[in-house]
């Protein structure tokens, strides 16, 4: 549905859309390639290890990835990733509704040799 | 009500406790619905309902029940649309009685309101029942229990439909089950037919959050544009006898139904897509087909499932003290530095003067708040807000925090304004399992 995009795409948001949900202290974010041709790239970019590595202070538990290849979708289930969840978290967003944009804000090509660049450090600011 | 007897039309008229009412009235009037489902409960909503009921035995149901019923009953009666809802929350009986009173005031003589009880299992759960999905058991919590409610499935709802109820009101009715039950009743499905149970649960799962499948929780300007979100329409499912369905909405309402909106909702709050556990089935959404069927029409099919679980999930709510929130804003040149200074002052004083240690958090909205723990921050804002949140076992503790933040107006950095503070009671929930044979739903039918 996104017909125009950066060339080449830079952020996950340039090739995919996503939605976040919560159950207790577990967050799940489903991510979908707009274009079937980008699904392979999306799968390569978003591994469970990458997600865990990108947010070491946020995600305390394991990250699991489920695939729905025929719909070009991924589902990430991140345990102990909601600062206690809606019962306990003092985050303004205690449900982690915005976590979808944590993942969409990642760069497709992980910067080698260092931690992820902060989303706000890009030229868009 | 449907033009084609083979297709059953279910609409959603609320997807959470505070959902909009006017689009529900529109859908009830023009949607040619067989059933409208009002899904109004979250895990914590029931616990808050129990607190309300303790304060007043006549309450404990959804706070908007009266307005919703007044607005929806006339159109639903006129169009032969049944309502199924969990607005009863912690007090389905009082909700049903109130609905009868409203029906009488509206002159809807003979309206049948079914009340489903039996989800309150506080007398049945062992004190040391282990948690469902984490170590430990109930006895270790050491906080007052507000309530314990088992998720009731379609089998608890079907008798109410068989009794000819125009309105079915329960408490902790599982969200997808409120959609599945009318389908079982309409099509005569065998509850042991796991494929049909999976298909009907898929319809329920997609529909239960209302506008989250018609453009809500979706718009991202320039990337995912949605027209008319201010007058977004609730969804309609046109369900066939085999359980496949078209998801759509009223043609002239705002919002949209596309492959993308349906995909995002397909896995909303789902973990393993091949094992979505409901009281009725372990549904398999992993092979679901999603196809365009025209403008704002998407066909969903090929859900599966395996046998329903032998246990039901029980949400246990506990009273859990208070949460205070307070803030002061800074704008213009140096706003970030002034906000940061305010944060340092408040943090220091909460620790050193008042002795609070861990249960508070300080954010600077505009710089670092939602993504603070994730390690992401914004840049360059000249309009920031100090935000302090604190949990306290007592209201007095939270009041002290609010006072401390307000004191920044005279004692803090330059140009601070816009203090606001609030304190709300909190609940905590835990999940346990109960053998489904122990849970006995009860049905009562009232007539206006």
Evaluate whether residue A1 is within a structural domain. Answer: no
CA distances from B10 to B210, B331, B400 (A): 12, 49, 50
Six-digit token string for B97: 């009685």
pLDDT of residue B44: 87
Using the structure block, give the residue that is written with the tokens 């107006």.
B409
Closest residue of B to A82, CA-based? Answer: B373
What CATH number does the domain containing A18 carry? Answer: 3.30.70
Asked whether residue A119 is domain-assigned, the answer is no
Which tens digits make up the pLDDT trace of B267-312?
999 999 999 999 999 999 999 999 999 999 999 999 999 999 999 9
Distance from CA of B335 to the nearest CA of A (A): 17
Top residue of A52, A60, A75 to mutate, by most chain B CBs within 10 Å, is A75
Asked if residue A3 is part of any domain, the answer here is no
Q: Which two tokens stand for residue B409?
A: 């107006």
pLDDT value, residue A117 = 43
- State the DSSP string of B362-378: EEEETTBSTTTTTT---
Using an 8 Å Cβ cutoff, are B27 and B248 in contact? no
Whether pLDDT at A3 is above 90: no
Domain contains A4:
no
Q: How far is A11 from chain B (nearest CA, A)?
A: 12
Average pLDDT over chain B, rounded to whole?
96
Contact B265, A19 (CB under 8 A): yes
- For A124, which residue in chain B has the nearest alpha carbon? B379
Q: Which two tokens stand for residue B191?
A: 């509850």
B268–A contact, CB cutoff 8 A: yes
- Measured between CB atoms, does A36 come within 8 Å of chain B? no
Rounded to 5 degrees, what are φ and ψ at B8?
A: -110, 130
Question: Does some domain include residue A120?
Answer: no
CA B316 to chain centre: 16
| Site from A24, A63, A76 to mutate, B interface, most B CB atoms within 10 angstroms | A24
- Taking the C-alpha atoms of residue B312 and residue B374, their distance in angstroms, rounded to an integer, is 35
**Inside any domain, residue A46:** yes
Q: Which segments of chain B belong to CATH 3.30.70.2750? A: 317-430
Kindly state the helix (H) or strand (E) to which residue B14 belongs, with its residue range. Answer: strand B8-14
Res A5: pLDDT: 56
ipTM: 0.95
Biggest CA-to-CA distance, chain B: 72
| Residue A123 scores a pLDDT above 60 | no
**What pLDDT does residue A8 have?**
86
Residue A31 lies in a domain: yes
Give pLDDT, residue B6: 85
Cα–Cα distance for residue pair A121/B2, rounded to 1 Å: 55
Helix or strand run (H / E) with residue B124: none
Q: Which residues neighbour B393 within 8 Å (Cβ) at sequence distance 6 or greater?
A: B321, B322
Q: Say yes or no: B221 contacts chain A, CB-CB below 8 A.
A: no
Q: What is the dihedral of CA B168, B171, B173, B179, to 10 degrees?
A: 30
Predicted confidence (pLDDT) at residue A1 exceeds the cutoff of 80: no
| Domains held by chain A: number | 1
- The answer to whether A66 contacts B273, with C-beta atoms less than 8 Å apart, is yes
What pLDDT does A4 receive?
56
Q: What is the pLDDT of residues B358-396, one digit of tens each?
A: 799 999 999 999 999 999 998 779 999 999 999 999 999
Long-range contacts at B247-252 (CB < 8 A, ≥ 24 apart) = B247/B206, B247/B207, B247/B213, B247/B297, B247/B298, B247/B299, B247/B300, B248/B296, B248/B297, B248/B298, B249/B214, B249/B296, B250/B26, B250/B27, B250/B30, B250/B31, B251/B296
**Spans of chain B, pLDDT less than 70:** 1-5
What is the radius of gyration, based on Cα positions, of chain B? 24
Which 3 state secondary structure label does DSSP give B115? Answer: strand
- Residue A97, pLDDT above cutoff 60: yes
Tokens coding A66: 């489920």
Pick from A13, A17, A118: CB nearest B376: A118
Structure confidence by residue, pLDDT tens digits, B71-115: 999 999 999 999 999 999 999 999 999 999 999 999 999 999 999
Residue ranges of B 321-350 with Cβ closer than 8 A to chain A = 323
Chain B contacts of A3, Cβ < 8 Å? none
CATH architecture of B317-430: 2-Layer Sandwich (3.30)
Which residues lie across from B424 on neighbouring strands? B323
CA B306 to chain centre: 26
Residue A123 located in a structural domain: no
pLDDT of B379? 79
**Half-sphere exposure at residue B364, Cβ-oriented, CA atoms within 13 angstroms:** 25
Q: How does B90-115 read in b/e, with b if 16+ C-beta sit within 10 Å? A: bbbbbbbbbbbebbeeeebeebbbbb
Which chain A residues are closer than 8 Å to B369 by Cβ?
A: 91-92
Per DSSP, the three-state class of B430 is: strand
Number of other CB atoms surrounding residue A94 within 10 Å: 18
Range of the domain at A76: 12-109
Whole-model pTM?
A: 0.94
Q: Which of B263, B287, B361 sits opposite A90 (nearest CB)?
A: B361
């Amino acid at each position: 549905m996104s017909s125009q995009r950066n060339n080449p795409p830079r952020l996950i948001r340039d090739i995919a859309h996503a939605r976040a949900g919560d159950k207790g202290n577990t967050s799940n974010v489903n991510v979908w390639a707009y274009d079937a041709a980008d699904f392979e790239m999306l799968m390569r970019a978003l591994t469970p290890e990458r997600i865990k590595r990108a947010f070491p202070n946020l995600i305390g538990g394991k990250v699991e990835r489920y695939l729905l290849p025929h719909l070009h979708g991924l589902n990430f289930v991140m345990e102990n990733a909601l600062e206690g969840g809606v019962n306990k978290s003092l985050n303004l967003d205690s449900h982690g509704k915005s976590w979808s944009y944590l993942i969409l804000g990642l760069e497709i090509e992980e910067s080698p040799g260092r931690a992820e660049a902060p989303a706000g450090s890009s030229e868009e600011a | 009500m449907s033009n084609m007897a083979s297709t059953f039309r279910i609409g959603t008229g609320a997807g959470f406790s505070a959902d909009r009412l006017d689009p529900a009235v529109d859908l009830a009037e023009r949607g040619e619905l067989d059933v409208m489902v009002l899904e109004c409960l979250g895990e914590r909503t029931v616990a808050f309902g129990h607190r309300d009921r303790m304060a007043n035995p006549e309450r404990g149901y959804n706070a908007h029940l009266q307005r919703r019923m007044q607005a929806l009953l006339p159109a639903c009666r006129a169009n032969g649309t049944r309502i199924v809802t969990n607005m009863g929350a912690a007090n389905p009986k009082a909700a049903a009685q109130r609905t009868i009173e409203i029906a009488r005031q509206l002159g809807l003589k003979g309206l049948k309101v079914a009340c489903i009880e039996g989800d309150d299992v506080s007398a049945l759960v062992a004190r040391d029942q282990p948690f469902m999905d984490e170590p430990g058991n109930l006895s270790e919590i050491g906080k007052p229990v507000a309530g314990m409610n088992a998720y009731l499935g379609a089998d608890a709802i079907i008798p109410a439909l068989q009794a000819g109820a125009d309105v079915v009101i329960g408490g902790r009715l599982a969200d997808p089950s409120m959609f599945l039950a009318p389908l079982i009743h309409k099509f005569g499905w065998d509850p042991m037919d796991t494929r049909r149970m999976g298909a009907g649960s898929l319809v329920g799962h997609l529909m239960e959050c209302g506008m989250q499948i018609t453009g809500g929780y979706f718009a991202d300007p320039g990337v995912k544009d949605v027209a008319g979100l201010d007058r977004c329409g609730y969804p309609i499912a046109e369900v066939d006898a085999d359980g496949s369905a078209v998801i759509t909405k009223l043609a002239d309402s705002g919002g949209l139904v596309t492959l993308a909106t349906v995909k995002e909702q397909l896995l909303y709050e789902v973990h393993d897509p091949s094992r979505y556990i409901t009281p009725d089935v372990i549904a398999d959404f992993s092979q679901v087909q999603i196809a365009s069927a025209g403008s704002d029409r998407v066909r969903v099919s090929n859900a599966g499932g395996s046998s329903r679980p032998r246990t039901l999930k029980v949400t246990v709510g506990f009273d859990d003290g208070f949460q205070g929130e307070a803030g002061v804003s800074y704008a213009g040149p140096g706003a970030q530095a002034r906000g940061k200074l305010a944060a340092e002052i408040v943090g220091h004083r909460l620790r050193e003067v008042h002795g609070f240690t861990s249960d508070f958090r300080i954010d600077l909205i505009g710089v670092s708040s939602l993504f603070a723990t994730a390690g992401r921050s914004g840049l360059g804002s000249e309009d920031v807000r100090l935000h302090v949140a604190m949990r306290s076992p007592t209201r007095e503790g939270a009041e002290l925090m609010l006072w401390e933040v307000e004191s920044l107006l005279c004692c803090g950095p330059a140009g601070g304004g816009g203090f606001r503070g609030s304190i709300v009671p909190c609940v905590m929930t835990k999940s346990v399992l109960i053998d489904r044979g122990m849970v006995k739903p009860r049905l009562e039918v009232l007539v206006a």
